[in-house]
């Protein structure tokens, strides 16, 4: 299959000539303003770097305490896993799993799949299932709520800070940095670019 000649805007279905982007340029739909594609400089190395860093940070944030409360000598401490899974023992099994999936599983899976995809493209191995990987990545994107969880942790901190001594653990900072990496990966992911790597291979990839 050749390079795409025409495309249609995802949001308004306007038929357009496929943009030929240079690095650093982006294309918007002339009718509805939807950002169609954006070709970042050094896209592949950046995606590789941020997804590896993100995975390491997520692993680290699972290994330390998230926050500690000290209420008149009574000390209690939670980890990232516990913050989701403790609900499980309060008879809220479904809710606990939903929270766990949204804040840990989905972000981890998305970043791992991006890493896997980039590695496969780099080594020019393009098995059939790689298109399913790509579909899964874009399908999961709205369900990763790492940054929302971060705000949730801050809100609970403020709720408690008036009545007790609170301390944020290493896990919080690792998770915060993970959110930054994740946001960067998210802003780099470009549907057209990734699919064109998949169909044409690394020859068209700027690296």
Partner 1 sequence: MRHYSEGSAASNGLVSCTECACLSPNELTRCPRCHAKLTSRQAYSLQLTLALLTTALLLFIPANLLPMMVTEKLGQVEYNTILGGIILLWKEGSHPIAVVVFVASVIVPILKFIILYYLCFCSLNPGAISAKTRTNLYRLTELIGRWSMVDIFVVAVLVALIQLDHLLNVQPGNGTIAFAGVVILTMFSAKAFDPRILWDKPLTRDENTRARN
Could you list the residues that contact partner 1 (CB under 8 A)? 1, 4, 6-8, 10-15, 31-34, 66-67, 69, 71-72, 74, 76, 78, 82-87, 90, 92, 94-96, 98-99, 102-103, 131, 134-135, 138, 142-143, 145, 148-149, 151-153, 155-156, 158-160, 162, 191-192, 195, 199
Element (H, E) at 207: none
In the bound state with partner 1, the residue whose beta carbon lies nearer, of 19 and 49, is 19
- The Cα–Cα gap between 109 and 114 comes to 9
Shortest spacing between CB 52 and partner 1, in angstroms: 25
In the bound state with partner 1, the residue whose beta carbon lies nearer, of 13 and 25, is 13
Q: Which of 12, 113, 136, 13 is nearest to 55 (CA)?
A: 113
In the bound state with partner 1, the residue whose beta carbon lies nearer, of 113 and 145, is 145
Element (H, E) at 98: helix 93-100
- The Cα–Cα gap between 30 and 20 comes to 15
- The Cα–Cα gap between 34 and 37 comes to 9
Shortest spacing between CB 125 and partner 1, in angstroms: 18
In the bound state with partner 1, the residue whose beta carbon lies nearer, of 22 and 158, is 158
Tokens describing residue 184: 């960067």
First to last CA, the chain: 22
- The Cα–Cα gap between 162 and 111 comes to 37
Shortest spacing between CB 138 and partner 1, in angstroms: 7
Shortest spacing between CB 43 and partner 1, in angstroms: 17
Q: Which of 23, 20, 17, 21 is nearest to 5 (CA)?
A: 17
Shortest spacing between CB 86 and partner 1, in angstroms: 4
- The Cα–Cα gap between 91 and 95 comes to 9
In the bound state with partner 1, the residue whose beta carbon lies nearer, of 23 and 167, is 167
In the bound state with partner 1, the residue whose beta carbon lies nearer, of 53 and 171, is 171
Shortest spacing between CB 83 and partner 1, in angstroms: 5
């Amino acid at each position: 299959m050749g390079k795409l000649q025409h495309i249609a805007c995802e949001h308004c279905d306007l038929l357009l000539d496929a943009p030929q982007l240079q690095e650093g340029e982006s294309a918007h739909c002339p009718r509805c303003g939807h950002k169609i594609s954006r070709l970042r400089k050094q896209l592949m190395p950046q995606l590789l770097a941020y997804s590896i860093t993100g995975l390491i940070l997520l692993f680290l944030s699972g290994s330390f305490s998230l926050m500690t409360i000290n209420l008149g000598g009574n000390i209690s401490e939670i980890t990232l896993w516990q913050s989701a899974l403790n609900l499980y023992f309060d008879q809220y099994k479904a809710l606990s799993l939903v929270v766990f999936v949204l804040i840990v599983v989905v972000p981890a899976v998305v970043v791992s799949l991006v890493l896997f995809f980039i590695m496969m493209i780099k080594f020019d191995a393009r098995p059939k299932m790689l298109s399913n990987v790509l579909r899964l990545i874009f399908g999961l994107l709205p369900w990763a709520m790492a940054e929302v969880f971060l705000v949730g942790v801050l809100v609970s901190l403020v709720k408690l800070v008036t009545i007790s001594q609170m301390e944020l653990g290493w896990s919080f900072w690792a998770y915060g940095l993970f959110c930054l990496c994740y946001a960067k990966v998210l802003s780099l992911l470009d549907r057209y670019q990734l699919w064109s790597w998949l169909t044409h291979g690394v020859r068209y990839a700027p690296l």
